[in-house]
Structure 1
């Protein structure tokens, strides 16, 4: 027996009689509809609180109670409003006696108050069981503080209502609120019976109701509904005027939103020889639990692209003697679901959530901690209809193989393409993305049909929405966005494993592109327009709202996805070529979804059609980029790419350098010291490494992490060989004596210097010689000093630095220093280079420098008693807004004695110049600065070819000669 779609007896009726009969029926319907519209035209009832009569507000012949609330203190229009306070809790009220069935009432009112939640607009139907509504939330707020409250309700054809009361009132009688311009608009509706929609009658006896009620109460107390085999009760189901059928039913749903009020969600099982609407098992539930038509249109979209989805629709339901209500029906996972979608009967799989819900129920108890819940990785794989499957050898065999397939994928032992029908899986993900049905992606909502012909699993799409609408699984625009990256849990890892399969993306990307386009969306909405209109009316009548499917939201989301998946020139793909003539390049996909590399060229528009198409996965969000190596013509400057399946082609310039590498430099601070000395030669206590007095040959680096201090004992001699070096993220104490000095040298002249970085204590060097050293140099890390102090304050006395093989003998950067009796000689280039420092240099002697003797940039330094001889370039060089005060300076043999450039200032007293090409020079060197200044208080000059030279922006001031 089929309750719906029965074959009817063929009765022959003369066509002339048939047409005449239909014409009469149509005429009668037209006249009745016209008369009804005349009886109930749209009308508006307004109370503006301006006029009163016999203790009532009056306006246009309509009367409203509670005129004692009239007040001139505030008004939205006119001079008066209705003031509610502790004396008057109810405002202007209107009563509709014996309201006409088939009418819609839209009510709005203006309100002004300090607290919106303390007052409301209400509608009360008599009897109370017919309904009650109220709202305190404004739909609009004017600049002057007046708010608009709105309510809507429907008197349908099937509900008897004696009267309707409409009124504003105070929720908190200690507050004050003003109401004005109550407006009631009455519209006639299409009669509900004209919707021509199926009506089911469900009859439950007292025993069945008690059992269901007990199960419901338990679920409400525990917060979850956990189904059991003994939950089923007997009932009788009747469609319209057909004979009733004995059925079994139980409560359904996981959360208690399915059990609210008097209308619960059911799973209904028909007898084995009967169906309803060609379904043997189906669910009935409140349409709001799946967000009304949002779920329905999602099913329609899946069906349109041939993805299996349960039949889903809406039906009127009368349970026992209750009033009719609207329910959604949904097909359950029986053999009919495949057959209806033109597949052969096959096993349907699910990932069992039995333990998940059991544990969640325990976790909701206060004394129970929130402990482990099962996940997709360790969930059980079960068939629907276990008993039927096991009793059928063919189905059992299919199940075992299908189980193995799904399990192999869960355990990452099989690729997605080996387990699933890739085309259908891609369509399922694309449609779910576009229609925002993310709740379907929750792992325990997944269902799979095993196709015994292809021996692959097909997805079954359903349960895309909750009562709150779209369910956000992730915060991505669409679920495929950046899914080729690293997963943070087993659930996302399951999906990432799908998205990492290039075979999947070959179908997913074109599907996402196609189905998010206007053509598909508009075609679907046009095809379903008549059903949408019918269901909108149906839902509106039962929810007392002006419900409509938000088609603009669907279009907006589809367009947003379509817009964001389109690649962009020069942005979506980054390409790098390590060397100029290399035929190999590395590409990285910065686009949110995979992209096809289709060729290269020397022209943005022309493409090498002989190139092999390469599929490049997207980079993971918030993860380092990944690179794919491909071969192209070594002379080509552009790479070309597209979305899979798209004709639109994009390009990026091939960069002429290698891609960034995520390398940890060997010079980054170590967690533990690296000590190349034998244990007997040092002590390490309280982060102080003490090198005992002695002679040492070191052929590997000494590295101390932050917070350590290196102490060299007097008389120590260290020979750094084999490019070894000293790198200390702390202070250096090298304090010798005149009779027992300390020496750091490099007999093979390969040592890479001594470097101090960001020391938390001051370094001290005395009676120390540093010679034959180069500087730290490794790939991009290249320093300039044989000994370098960076953000590390230092004091020096009686220190000698000589025969260095790098740019600076001594380089101090962003530090404070106090140096006396410093001897620098026979340098490769500069002697003492100070950048952005503050310090003093006294009683020092520099000679035979390859370039500048003293080069101070951005520093403030006091100099006294400085002797400079045989200098390769400038004796003292001040740059980048340096300030130098010098006293008693002797310079013999330099290209330029003193130079001040780029907003620097040099003030010198007792300057003695000998054998210089140019004595004093001031100028601007860098365009972002200005000129330099030199103030000379006293000087002598012997054998100086040119005493001063300055540009127009610079000044040199000499003392006036006495007459």
Structure 2
């Protein structure tokens, strides 16, 4: 990149060691570029800095900014015009984060980004997108480039630019009062470790002139930390095709085009997937941004895909996130995870009705057997599972395999098939699960076993299935076969890439797939099922020693009643004894820590318990319990 210091912009940069000062902002009419080649500055102050100019290293030119210690930073102050998309970027070495605080008429929106998707010459580029379409007038932004690591960090070629964007594929119209509600929900969620249900409230809007409701989407806050936020959208009539429910998702959360390619490889193999497209979206006629449009599993998903009716099955997961967060902050924590889940489905209203409920019960029982039993091959479509897992091994899209991310359905042959979905994470963390190769127990043991994926591993106990799986691995490790598969959607892939490149400095090639295929080919001879047989015990976890605390948050998530015919199974997943009583306090019983009890069920009965001097009502669910 050619070094530039734009003299057309009234810009001041002051190199003063450990200086922190405030200043008036400059209205951004054209790009600001800081190249760190000079200490020159003009009369209009827009920056403050805790660092120093060094010539020992640089991305380009002859010098860069050094931030030697943690929390040292460079600060810019700019005014950003409404209805625009801006990008703040820099090249960095070390642990650097870009964060911004947007202010508009008393409202504050915090944004941050530290991930990089491009590397050159030992440097990485960070890019933070800012969307000002929420307002009709100028917003004021404080942008900070901060050393958040324990060692020295370097920053070079800082750029603040306005993105022209492209014609929007979808356009939201949102009233100001509803934008205020959205910003309140989003800001509350931003300061939490995960997006809680109370911040996922539906908001009215119009999408391409059709009335819709939408809400924040996602479990973790990576969906909302930058200026592009993930939304789940509900239409009164189909939004596109036959789909009334769609997700507009930050394209980074699934690692940009890696998820798109995983989905399309599965689609060409006849494995059920939601449509997953790269699209542009505008808000209130502002500059559009890029995101991923994902089809939802509601609205008769299997009917749309296969022409027959079947519920898409899933496992309840909302209770996971608070106790995962608890686990991060406490050592040696054992938490209940899947023991407190149950099977339910999309289109819940339909499959709760007479005439459809029996089908749900039948399909859910097959899934329960798949999860709980040792003998499972007769329950599944082996061809589909073997090819699905081979594509997983090739693309390393393993995030789909955790039990709460997987979706299933029972096909017209009465066999369980997987749904390809949510295979990638924003920084590729899941690519290293299983030692990087699914099906090899020796690699798996080195990475540690986890209940999150144990029931899928039972497939490898079968010599029959392992033989079929290896035949699929052999197929996908063949270079000519892989080229042919990729050619089926290469044109669409190129168009999707160009859309992303309007907003991000992003280079994508399929070279990593051929590297992966070559590794698979070399490892095929070392993969067999003999080292799996008899090892079922390594996936067992003793949840009786769980130590989730008894407080309101964990009680609401880990104390639950499961309705099963005329019986009610009540589970206490906390580490303390809990007493239960009915409305009149005429009947009472106690359940010990990490224990359960089964009683007669009456639809008129209500049960309560006390936590932190507050009476809580026992949640009772009628979906299929796992146990």
TM-score (norm 1): 0.41
Report deviation, 1:492: 4.3
Name 2:607's counterpart in structure 1: none
Equivalent residue in structure 2 for 1:402, among 363, 366, 390: 363
| 1:230-241 paired onto structure 2 within 5 Å | 231-238=201-208
Give yes or no for contact 1:434–1:515 (8 Å, CA) kept in 2. Answer: yes
| Residue number in structure 2 paired with 1:111 | 63
Check 1:375–1:108 CA distance in 2 against 1; reply closer, same or farther (3 A cut): same
Change (3 A) 1:483 1:397: farther
Q: Distance in 2 between matches of 1:281 and 1:218?
A: 25
In the TM superposition, what are the counterparts of 1:214-233 in structure 2 within 5 Å? 214-227=184-197, 231-233=201-203
Task: Give aligned pairs, total.
Answer: 458
Q: Where does residue 451 of structure 2 map in the other structure?
A: 490
Q: Is 2:93 aligned against 1:137?
A: yes
Contact 1:376–1:494 under 8 Å retained in 2: no
Number of the residue aligned with 1:341: 305
> Offset of 1:124 from its aligned partner?
9.6
Q: Equivalents in 1 of 2:432, 2:204: separation in Å?
A: 38
In structure 1, the partner of 2:391 is 431
Distance 1:282 1:465 in 2: 19
Q: Which residue of 2 aligns with 1:713?
A: none
- Corresponding residue for residue 353 of structure 1: 317
Q: Where does 1:142-541 land on structure 2 (aligned, <5 Å)? A: 199-227=169-197, 231-238=201-208, 244-271=209-236, 273-360=237-324, 372-393=334-355, 395-412=356-373, 415-451=375-411, 453-472=412-431, 474-482=433-441, 488-541=449-502
Give the deviation of 1:488 after TM superposition.
4.3
Identify the residue that residue 592 of structure 1 maps to in structure 2: 527
What does the per-residue CA deviation read over 1:106-138, in whole Å, with 9 as the maximum and x for residues that have no partner? x93232788777999999987487343233429
Task: Tell me how far 1:449 sits from its aligned partner.
Answer: 1.1
Secondary structure of the residue that 1:213 maps to in structure 2? helix
> Are the structure 2 counterparts of residues 380 and 122 from structure 1 closer, same or farther at C-alpha, using a change threshold of 3 Å?
same
Q: Is residue 560 from structure 1 mapped to residue 524 from structure 2 by the alignment?
A: no
Using CA pairs below 8 Å that are at least 6 residues apart, which structure has the higher relative contact order? 2
Structure 1's 480 and 90: CA in aligned 2 closer, same or farther, altered over 3 A?
Answer: farther
| 1:805-849 per-position Cα deviation (integer Å, ceiling 9, x unaligned) | xxxxxxxxxxxxxxxxxxxxxxxxxxxxxxxxxxxxxxxxxxxxx
Retained in 2: the 8 A contact 1:423–1:507? yes
Offset of 1:392 from its aligned partner?
4.9
Q: How do 1:86-101 residues align onto structure 2 when only pairs under 5 Å count?
A: 88=39
Q: What SS is found at the alignment partner of 1:510?
A: helix
The answer to whether the 8 A contact 1:112-1:177 is kept is no
Query: Is the contact between residue 311 and residue 331 of structure 1 (CA under 8 Å) also seen in structure 2?
Result: yes
CA contact (8 A) 2:246 2:293 kept: yes
Q: Return the alpha-carbon distance in structure 1 between the equivalents of residues 92 and 126 of structure 2.
A: 14
- SS across alignment from 1:550: coil
The 1:383/1:111 distance shift into structure 2, 3 A limit, reads: same
- CA–CA distance in structure 2, aligned partners of residues 362 and 201 of structure 1: 39
Question: Residue 508 of structure 1: CA displacement?
Answer: 1.4
Deviation string 1:696-739 (CA, Å, 9 cap, x unpaired) is xxxxxxxxxxxxxxxxxxxxxxxxxxxxxxxxxxxxxxxxxxxx
Cα offset, 1:297, TM superposition: 0.2
Q: Secondary structure at the match of 1:326?
A: strand
1:485 & 1:362 partners in 2: Cα distance? 26
Q: CA deviation at 1:227?
A: 2.8
Provide closer, same or farther for how the CA distance between residues 122 and 200 of structure 1 changes in structure 2, counting only shifts above 3 A: same
Cα distance in 2 for partners of 1:299, 1:457 equals: 19
Q: Which one has the bigger helix percentage?
A: 2
Give, in angstroms, the shift of residue 68 of structure 1.
13
Structure-2 change in CA distance of 1:225 and 1:148 (3 Å): closer
**Is there any run of 5+ residues in structure 1 with no aligned partner, and where?**
1-43, 48-55, 70-80, 92-106, 139-146, 160-168, 239-243, 568-590, 595-615, 625-963
Instruction: State the Cα deviation string for residues 454-497 of structure 1 (Å, max 9, x = none).
Output: 11111001101111124146342311112899894433431221
Shift of the 390–503 alpha-carbon distance from structure 1 to 2, 3 Å rule, reads farther
User: Cα distance 1:402–1:619, how it changes in 2: closer, same or farther (>3 A)?
Assistant: closer
TM-score normalised by L of structure 2: 0.62
CA distance in 1 between counterparts of 2:172 and 2:9 reads: 44
In 2, Cα distance between the equivalents of 1:406 and 1:67?
62
**Could you say what secondary structure the match of 1:471 adopts?**
helix
Q: Is the 8 A contact 1:134 1:151 kept in 2?
A: yes
3-state DSSP of counterpart to 1:504: helix
CA separation of 1:483/1:115 partners in 2, compared to 1, >3 Å: closer, same or farther?
closer
TM superposition shift of 1:183: 13
Tell whether the 8 Å contact from 2:387 to 2:472 is kept in structure 1 after alignment: yes
Residue 377 of structure 1: how far off its partner (Å): 4.8
Report deviation, 1:398. Answer: 1.5
1:341-400 CA deviation, whole Å, 9 max, x = no partner?
Answer: 334121110011122234335657x7x89855333355211111211111251x311111
Q: Do the aligned partners of residues 228 and 473 (structure 1) sit closer, same or farther apart at CA in structure 2, a change above 3 Å counting?
A: farther
For structure 2, the 5+ residue unaligned runs are: 16-34, 43-58, 95-120, 134-144, 539-627
Between stretches 416-425 and 377-386, larger displacement belongs to: 377-386
Q: 1:518 to 1:115 in 2, by over 3 A?
A: same
Equivalent-residue separation in structure 1 for 2:363 and 2:154 (angstroms) = 68
CA–CA distance in 1 between the matches of 2:361 and 2:436?
37
Query: Are the structure 2 counterparts of residues 523 and 620 from structure 1 closer, same or farther at C-alpha, using a change threshold of 3 Å?
Result: farther
Distance of 1:183 and 1:246 partners within structure 2: 41
Query: Could you say what the CA RMSD is over the residues aligned between the two structures, in angstroms?
Result: 4.9
Give the 3 Å change call, closer, same or farther, for CA 111–338 of structure 1 in structure 2.
same
Residues 281 and 288 in structure 2, CA contact (< 8 A), matched pair in contact too: yes
Alignment of 1:723-738 (within 5 A): none
The answer to whether the 8 A contact 2:165-2:289 is kept is no
Per-residue CA deviations over 1:618-667 (Å, capped at 9, x if unaligned) read 6799x99xxxxxxxxxxxxxxxxxxxxxxxxxxxxxxxxxxxxxxxxxxx
